[in-house]
Amino acid sequence: MSTPHNAANVGDIAERILLPGDPLRAKHIAETFLEGTKLYTDIRNVYGYTGKYKGIPVSVQATGMGIPSFSIYVHELINVYGVKKLIRVGSCGGMHKDVKLRDVVIAQGVTTDSSIVHQVFGGAVNYALIANFDLLEKAVINAKKLNTPVKVGNIICTDRFYNDYYDVNGIFGDGKRSLNEKLVQYGILAVEMETAALYLLAAQGGVQGLGLFTVSDHLLTHEEVPPHERETTFDDMVKIALETAIEN
């Protein structure tokens, strides 16, 4: 059985999966790190592959950009295809002074301006979006084994990429701080657009979810990794994710 968005049959997708947004990044991961790779979907040119990493089946599925696109793929992966470990491997915008270009960030928790939590809980509670601790712990240990420094903490997942609201001064009545500055004051490390949905859907489905990111641009320094390099230069993050995915 396939879905309107995924040509895979049940059994084509492994219980362990990496989730880049970019289809070309999915292709790069599959061709670079997996053996015996099979393309199981290319609907809408959103690629999904299954192969083996160190003898263990692992899939890689592109998800597109933003919570709505991401949620469609992840809902189906959990509820139709039976995926149990989902690790997002994406890019993010650095916000904190301690986060540098090309650093690897692991989302211990996610703050969001999306209405996704409100839609589920109707405003009755402010549900906390957190990583699966087992995956989080293993990712940190694997990063140390690979000699790859990581930053672990809170990120913000936003619905708008071009968001002038974050650049308006004086929101808080003191005429000095922007919302970005206040977020950084409260420990936000980086910004991206999907992981709130991952942590919410993983909790709903009783499965494991974790978000890993490489800093592709920085809101403070205005540095950025050229787009054509983003598919192939984030391999440190991918190695951490793969080593974490295959552990029991």
CB contact at 8 A, 106 and 211: yes
Name the active-site residue from 59, 69, 71, 91. 91
How far apart are the C-alpha atoms of 114 and 240, rounded to whole Å?
A: 28
In terms of DSSP bridges, do strands 85-94 and 208-218 run parallel, antiparallel, or are they unpaired? parallel
Instruction: Please give the Cα distance from 194 to 181 (Å, whole number).
Output: 22
Is residue 177 annotated as a catalytic residue, yes or no? no
Per the annotation, the verdict on 16 as an active-site residue is no
Among this protein's residues, is 44 annotated catalytic? yes
In the residue annotation, 90 being an active-site residue is answered as no
CB 150 within 8 A of CB 104: yes
Which is catalytic among the residues 51, 90, 211, 230?
230
160 has catalytic annotation: no
Residue in 44, 98, 160, 170 annotated catalytic: 44
Active-site choice (21, 48, 66, 209): 21
Catalytic residue among 12, 16, 22, 25: 25
159 in active site: no
* Selected catalytic residue, list 42, 113, 134, 217: 217
Q: Which residue has the tokens 């949905």?
A: 197
CA neighbor of 150 nearest in space, from 227, 89, 226, 86: 89
Distance CA 45, CA 23 (A): 7
115 is catalytic: no
- Catalytic residue numbers? 21, 25, 44, 88, 91, 217, 230
